[in-house]
Amino acid sequence: MKKEKSRNSSREKVIAIIFIMALFLLAAGSTAKFSSTLRTNLSNIAIEYKKELSADAKPGDRIKGMINKFDSLYNDKILYVDKISGIDSSLRFFITGEFVSKQVLLGKQNWLFYKSEFDGNPIADYQGTDHMTLKQLENTKDCLADIKKIMESRGIRFVLMVPPNKEQVYKMYMPENIEIINDKSRTDVLIEYLNNNTNIDIVDPKAELIQVSEGYQTYYKYDSHWNQLGSYVGEQQLLEVLYGKRSYLEKQKILKFQLKEHENGDNGLANMVGMKWYFNDDAEYIVEDSIHDLDNWTVKNYSNEKAPHQESVLFIGDSFSTAMKPHLFHDFSEVNIIHTKEYYPEMLDLYKPDIIVLEFVERYSGNLSSFEIAK
């Protein structure tokens, strides 16, 4: 026991020494750049702030705004906070095989998982420790039933979609020390409750994704989101709910490309620990029969006169909607994608959709009871 503690202590000392040396090197580089770039940075921030500043802003507000601007410069350009964090993570990883992060979990074969407790709680979902109370289940049911009723009164088809967290699909790469306490997650219980107590159409692709992922990579290795193969499974289940027919991933031609940075495929978890430079060997998998030549992944509105389904879809969802764009744009004549945080009830009259899909990834399923789709 004492030998183990001694080894851990020595290892921490080595990390600390190398970390301090790296900081000195970084500081030297920062100082060398400082004199030549500071004046430009300060000038640019002052110009930018002046453009944003309201003409009738009070002196106190002016000062606070400028302080915030300079604080951003100080952290990003002078202290290199992101680089320091990356140095610490890199040193620990190469010396101990681990890194310390409140947001990112290192799994087997270098798979990264999201473990934040403040943006949902995917680890609690994985362990099955945060089930809803009966009252919370009833509230969620009532909210969704009201949404369905309102949509039916407007002649709109309503579908709920709940993509699973990455941890649920790739359990084989989760660390052994993260134990599953309950085989049923909060979302498993919720969907079962909704199926038993409502007639809401629900797309729950978890079981199929687990099966398909034995032969295909359906989530990004260094990000928390599903990729275009995973989203294809979800979108095809949506078609089955709506029309009673669909296709399967096994029958599609899959293309493989070098991963390019976009809204949800940019190795985000690796970036959180400052090691994007190391965790960078993931690929982009594309279903050939889709609208995959999108120049800008932020596209939210798309029309397709040749789509097999000549109906308009208003897709209200979170960041998991991004990878669905190539498939939705291929299959529906008009698609409008709105983030749940950007949606407002007047959009119903603005877009006049035939179908509304409300998508909440598993870690956000506890927020379904508070979503307002119409006034």
Which pLDDT tens digit goes with each residue over 126-162? 999 999 999 999 999 999 999 999 999 999 999 999 9
The pTM assigned to this predicted structure is 0.79
337 contact partners, CB below 8 Å, separation of at least 6? 300, 301, 315, 317, 321, 325, 328
Distance CA 365, CA 324 (A): 19
- Closest of 253, 134, 150 to residue 200, by C-alpha: 150
How does the average pLDDT of the chain come out, rounded? 83
pLDDT of 366 > 70? The answer is yes
For residue 292, pLDDT over 80 is answered with no
In contact, 207 and 200? CB cutoff 8 Å: no
For the cut 90, the answer to whether the pLDDT of residue 342 exceeds it is yes
Indicate if the pLDDT at residue 52 is higher than 70: no
The pLDDT of residue 33 is above 60:
no
SS3 for 148-206 is: HHHHHHCCCEEEEECCCCHHHHCHHHCCCCCCCCCCCCHHHHHHHHHHHHCCCEEECCH
Select from 95, 168, 92, 112 the least CA-distant residue to 281: 112
pLDDT, residue 31, reads 47
Q: Are 220 and 227 in contact (CB under 8 A)?
A: yes
pLDDT greater at residue 289 or residue 84: 289
Helix (H, G, I), strand (E, B) or coil at 317: strand
Q: Name the H helices within the chain.
A: 2-52, 59-73, 81-96, 122-127, 134-153, 166-169, 186-197, 206-212, 228-243, 268-272, 325-331, 347-351
Q: Please say if the pLDDT value at position 28 is more than 60.
A: no
Residue 21 confidence (pLDDT): 57
